[in-house]
């Protein structure tokens, strides 16, 4: 079964959010108003809604001695698309968490990196060595 997800999140600035997702990540913008905007996030819908103030108190957690943000969302890409996006983002961002391979030689071996958007959200991009091990 192939399904899409939808997530809606508060944002600080519609204009800055649009600029980040369209210019930095090449994500296609969908419908929008002055108070919200939709994006096609690799086939799923992410909506940002203008909020005056919001805050997420989120600690980081350790995964194989790497500190990762507890609150994050992301997409799983094939290795070609992942490499292409990783190279593109590393050209403009010094704030990405260095490419890391987790679960080496185990079920679910994956390459992963994070980037932070202008609202403070951490977006994870990952690719699995074996696609059929996503949920193992």
Distance between CA atoms of 121 and 8, rounded to whole angstroms?
Answer: 12
- pLDDT above 70: residue 74: yes
Q: What is the pLDDT of residue 98?
A: 67
The mean of the pLDDT values for the chain is: 86
**Which CATH class for the 60-133 domain?**
alpha beta
Distance between CA atoms of 121 and 54, rounded to whole angstroms?
Answer: 12
Q: What is the pLDDT of residue 21?
A: 95
What are the angstrom distances between the C-alpha of 34 and each of 24, 70, 118?
A: 21, 30, 17
Element (H, E) at 83: helix 79-92
Residue indicated by tokens 């204009």: 15
Give the tens place of pLDDT for each residue, 89-131: 888 766 666 678 999 999 999 999 988 888 888 889 999 999 8
- What does pTM read for this prediction? 0.76
pLDDT band at residue 37 using 50, 70 and 90 as cut-offs: very high
> Range with the lowest mean pLDDT among 54-58, 82-86, 118-122?
54-58
Domain definitions of the chain by residue range: 6-50, 60-133
Distant-in-sequence, close-in-space partners of 132: CB < 8 Å, separation ≥ 6? none
Which structure tokens are listed for 13? 């600035």
Q: What is the pLDDT of residue 18?
A: 97
- pLDDT above 70: residue 86: yes
Mode of pairing for the β-strands spanning 110-116 and 66-69: unpaired
Q: What is the pLDDT of residue 93?
A: 65
The CATH code of the domain at 6-50 is: 3.10.180.10
Distance between CA atoms of 56 and 54, rounded to whole angstroms?
Answer: 7
Which structure tokens are listed for 66? 């790497």
């Amino acid at each position: 079964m192939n399904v899409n997800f939808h997530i809606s999140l508060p944002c600080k600035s519609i204009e800055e959010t649009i600029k980040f997702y369209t210019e930095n990540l090449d994500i296609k913008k969908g419908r929008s108003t002055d108070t919200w905007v939709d994006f096609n996030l690799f086939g799923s819908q992410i909506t940002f809604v203008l909020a005056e103030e919001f805050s997420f108190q989120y600690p980081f957690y350790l995964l194989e001695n790497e500190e990762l943000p507890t609150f994050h969302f992301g997409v799983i890409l094939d290795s070609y698309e992942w490499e292409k996006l990783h190279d593109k983002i590393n050209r403009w961002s010094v704030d990405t968490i260095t490419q890391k391979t987790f679960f080496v030689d185990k079920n679910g071996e994956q390459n992963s990196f994070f980037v932070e958007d202008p609202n403070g959200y951490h977006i994870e991009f990952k690719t699995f060595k074996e696609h059929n091990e996503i949920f193992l």
